[in-house]
Amino acid sequence: MPKHKGGKVAAVIDIGSSDVKMQISQVRNKEIIPLNTLEYPLKLGHKVFNYGKISFECLRELSHILTGYSNVMKEYGVDQYKVVGTTALREAQNKEFIQDQLLIQNDMIVEIYDDNQEKSLIYSAITKALKHMELFSTQSNLKEQAKQPENMLLSYIGTGSIGISLYNGKHIFFTQNISTGSLKLHDVLSGVQEYTDDFAIVVDEYLDSIFNRIQMPVPYQQVNGLVLTGNEMQRIAKLCNAEPIDGNYVIKSKTLTNLYQTIRLMPLEKIALKFDLTEEVAEMFYSSLAIYAKLLKFTEADYVFAPKVDLWDTLIEQMLVQKRALNEVVETREHALACAKTVADRYRCNYEHANFLMETACMIFDKIKTLHGLNPSYKLLLEIAAILHDCGYFINSKHHLNSNVDIVKYTDIYGLTDKTTLITAYISRFAESETPNYRDAEFASLKGSEKIIALKLAAIFRLANSLDKSQKQKLQSVKVRLDEDKFIITAKSDSNTRLEHWAFEKCSAFFQEVFGVQPVLTVKSSLI
């Protein structure tokens, strides 16, 4: 097959829990056109969820599939591609070995996305789809759906995990990932199914035990819009006789609930027969629908929005459309900060102090870029650390720094990976006067380059934090400049700033140790 006329061609291969999929797309006249979609079943999830590892047999089959996909990419003249792994690879105890073997056998680098990274990409596709759907139009048959809900619950149900987020039409301000998906739900409860005639009740109670514990920033009653996506959503939408809008669906909540009640007590073989499915697909269908119905129960949404999205949508756009990649950076920052502020609200953080710290840390970061050599994207970690660095006081004032590390590293923040979340946690950990403890197991788990990044950001953060030690924003008109072997900070103040000068002197040594320049603080004040 010759290369299609037009712009660049990109491909994404998604190694999932139940199949290996590939999407090939091309940009034409600024539009992304799908050229081919391939899907091959592979039960990685069953192996990992039950045995913890991917077998040699599965590895050989996976390698064979990737060889076939590689040949197809050559036929289409693919210019750029990504191979990504999600839940099954992420949870496999031998994932590093699998990555190594696929690099050797297939010459492919497999990126294993952590849960938050995966869901952020999907949410990006969801919010984009919502903006383009004609849901909020004034069409007569869509008037009830046309009004954009104040708070929307976004959810993606994968085979191995569930992601839920709150979206207000502008920002995603809360996100949480749950280690239960349609396939994992079935595998976890399969042992129970053999010994009970009330399996549906067990499923309901199990899901209740998960969702009832989620600490939402707003009550479920205030969530009046529901967006459901996942592997089975399109099949469910069709069974609900939903009318597609630009390939996306609007489903009446009552219709979806009735569908679940229809199959709720049916054995898998009857579900498979009724809907012309294999029993394996029926398993996924039942589990997915049970999760969807449970989420619907928590909201007052009259309609369910079901945009057709997948992991590769955002990745392909990023590869083919430079502007989209830049927009993604901006959107990620906005969503991440909104999520961080939601967490800060819960722990009653000082916003005035956080804003001062955020602005000052970013100012220092920008001014010494020749010294730190970091990608500008790392500035986001400083901003999030500024918003969250005092959360620990809510738990324990004596050990607030340790408490803060735990809060940050176990919080899902939009767009952050497990590693960048851990780095952010340690930025806040070293915000005052303590130095890194290399005996700390988690800090030691960071790669050498990651430790350096954490220490550079911590040095910047600590210096900025010292300038508002009193948390009263005494320093005004703060300016910074780099002058050979000195980093000069000037400010104005009409208040007593002795505390800030004292803190600054304590923090200067670490900054000088990391960057090789001496910080100097000059404050024009009538009081000092």
Q: Give just the sign of the alpha carbon dihedral 288, 292, 293, 295.
A: positive
* Cα distance between residue 316 and residue 3, in whole Å: 18
Report pLDDT digits (tens) over 464-510: 999 999 999 999 999 999 998 999 999 999 999 999 999 999 999 99
**Structure letter (DSSP) for residue 92:** -
Pairing of strands 80-85, 110-112: parallel
Q: Which amino acid is at 176?
A: Q
pLDDT value of position 405: 87
Cα(87)–Cα(175) distance, rounded to whole angstroms?
18
Question: What CATH number does domain 9-113 carry, 1.10.10.10, 3.30.420.40, 3.100.10.20, 3.40.190.10?
Answer: 3.30.420.40
Query: In what order do the strands lie in the sheet containing 110-112?
Result: 31-41, 19-28, 9-15, 80-85, 110-112
What pLDDT shows up at residue 143?
44
- Checking if the pLDDT of 525 tops 90, the result is no
pLDDT of residue 103: 97
- pLDDT given for residue 301 in this prediction: 83
Q: Higher model confidence: residue 526 or residue 49?
A: 49
The model's pLDDT over 82-94, given as tens digits with 9 standing for 90+, comes to 999 998 999 999 9
pTM (two decimals)? 0.88
Start and end residues for every CATH 3.30.420.150 domain found in the chain = 116-313
Q: Which of 11-15, 34-38, 150-154 has the lowest mean pLDDT?
A: 150-154
| 1 confidence band (pLDDT: 50, 70, 90) | very low
Got the DSSP string for 396-464? -STTHHHHHHHHHHTS--TT--HHHHHHHHHHHHTSSS----TT-HHHHHS-HHHHHHHHHHHHHHHHH
Of 1-15, 77-91, 195-209, the one with minimum mean pLDDT is: 1-15
Q: Per mean pLDDT, which range of 79-93, 189-203, 225-239 is the poorest? A: 189-203
- 116-313: CATH number: 3.30.420.150
Average pLDDT on 263-273 reads: 90
- Contact, 161 vs 91, CB < 8 A? no
CA 395, chain centre distance (Å): 26
CA distance 475 to 490: 9
Pick the residue with more confidence: 199 or 464?
Answer: 464
What pLDDT is recorded for position 138? 36
* 140 has a pLDDT exceeding 60: no
Q: What is residue 182's predicted lDDT score, i.e. its pLDDT?
A: 86
The CA–CA distances, whole Å, from 414 to 87, 115, 319 equal: 18, 11, 21
Q: Are 122 and 130 in contact (CB under 8 A)?
A: no
Whether residue 8 contacts residue 81, with contact meaning beta carbons closer than 8 Å, is answered with no
Mean pLDDT of 171-183: 90
Which band of pLDDT confidence, cut at 50, 70 and 90, is reported for residue 142?
very low
**Two tokens at 29?**
């006249």
Chain region(s) in the chain for CATH 1.10.3210.10: 342-525
Residue 192: the pLDDT is 75
Evaluate if residue 356 carries a pLDDT over 60. Answer: yes
Tokens of 436: 């890194």
* Range(s) of the chain covered by CATH 3.30.420.40: 9-113
pLDDT at 162 over 80: yes
- How is 184-231 classified by DSSP, letter by letter? HHHHHHHHHHTT-S-HHHHHHHHHHHHHTT---SS-GGG--EEEEEET
Burial class (CB in 10 A: 0-12, 13-18, 19+), 471: middle
Q: How does residue 325 score in pLDDT terms, banded at 50, 70 and 90?
A: confident
Q: Which CATH number fits domain 342-525: 3.30.70.260, 1.20.120.1630, 3.40.718.10, 1.10.3210.10?
A: 1.10.3210.10
More confident residue, 405 or 96: 96
Find the mean pLDDT for residues 325-343: 91
**With 80 as the cut, is the pLDDT of residue 528 above it?**
no
Which tens digit of pLDDT belongs to each residue from 370-382? 999 999 999 999 9
More confident call, 71 vs 184: 71
Give the phi and the psi of residue 2 in degrees, each rounded to 5. -70, 160
Q: Which residue has the higher pLDDT, 143 or 248?
A: 248
Q: Per-residue confidence at 186, pLDDT binned at 50, 70, 90?
A: confident
What is the structure's pLDDT at 193? 66
> Is the pLDDT confidence value at 218 over 90?
no
Radius of gyration, CA atoms only, the chain? 26
How far apart CA 512 and CA 54 sit, in angstroms, is 48
Closest by Cα among 421, 405, 423 to 413: 421
HSE value, Cβ hemisphere, 13 Å, CA-based, for 78:
23
Q: Give the E-state strand segments of 42-139 in sequence order.
A: 80-85, 110-112
Mean pLDDT over 205-218 rounds to 88
In this predicted structure, the answer to whether residue 433 has a pLDDT above a threshold of 70 is: no
pLDDT at residue number 109: 97
Rounded mean pLDDT of the chain? 88
- Coil, helix or strand at residue 146: helix
Q: What percent of the chain has pLDDT over 70?
A: 93
Q: Between 144 and 100, where is the model more confident?
A: 100
In this predicted structure, the answer to whether residue 329 has a pLDDT above a threshold of 80 is yes
Task: Count other Cβ atoms within 10 Å, centred on residue 135.
Answer: 24
